[in-house]
Amino acid sequence: KLAILPNNGVMSAADVSALEDFVRMGGKILAFYSTSLRTGELALVGYQIGDLLGLAWNQFTVDEAFDAIEIVEDHPALAKAPQVIPVGAKAVQDVAVVAGGRAVGVRASADGTASGNAVIVASDAGIFITNHMASATNLAIDEVQQLLISIITYYAPEAGK
């Protein structure tokens, strides 16, 4: 039902094809940060699953003003998530939202000022989060845990039992 890709930076063409088949059969993806940026030969090519998840990679960045994720658009997978999610890691992938994707969460500063920079992109295939949410720094934050539980239990309700 749900493939969780915490930071699978290297993906072969066969891996990408398997994920496309998984989604075609009704599966959903929750992916993070650098997932699929490099081929099996380690060439940096951008998000190989970007078309599937509605985003394109621009560059890696460290945003010193990035203190939180602000939810800016409703999505059922985020229904149980806090509106503002503090982050412990300022490293983030800068992305463009493309056809099929919607920016539902953006970078925000400590004072709550939201930017136009997408951090959570939703599509029919699932959710991509451009920050490394699976890092120990982020996983220690209650709101991050709530966000992940909200997404996981939406796509795989039995995971919450």
Q: Encode pLDDT of 59-101 as tens digits.
A: 998 888 899 999 999 999 999 999 999 998 888 899 999 999 9
The 8 Å CB, 24+ separation contacts for 63-66 are 63/90, 63/92, 63/107, 63/117, 64/90, 65/107, 65/109, 65/115, 66/90, 66/92, 66/107, 66/108, 66/109, 66/131
- Burial (CB < 10 A; 0-12, 13-18, 19+), residue 95, is buried
- Burial (CB < 10 A; 0-12, 13-18, 19+), residue 14, is exposed
Q: Is the pLDDT of residue 26 over 90?
A: yes
Query: Which option is the CATH number for 2-160: 3.40.50.880, 1.10.10.1150, 3.10.20.70, 2.40.170.20?
Result: 3.40.50.880
- Highest-scoring range by mean pLDDT, 30-34, 123-127, 130-134, 136-140: 123-127
Model-level pTM? 0.94
Please report, for the chain, the start and end positions of each structural domain, with discontinuous segments joined by +.
Answer: 2-160
Give the pLDDT confidence of 31-50 residue by residue, as tens digits. 999 889 899 999 999 999 99
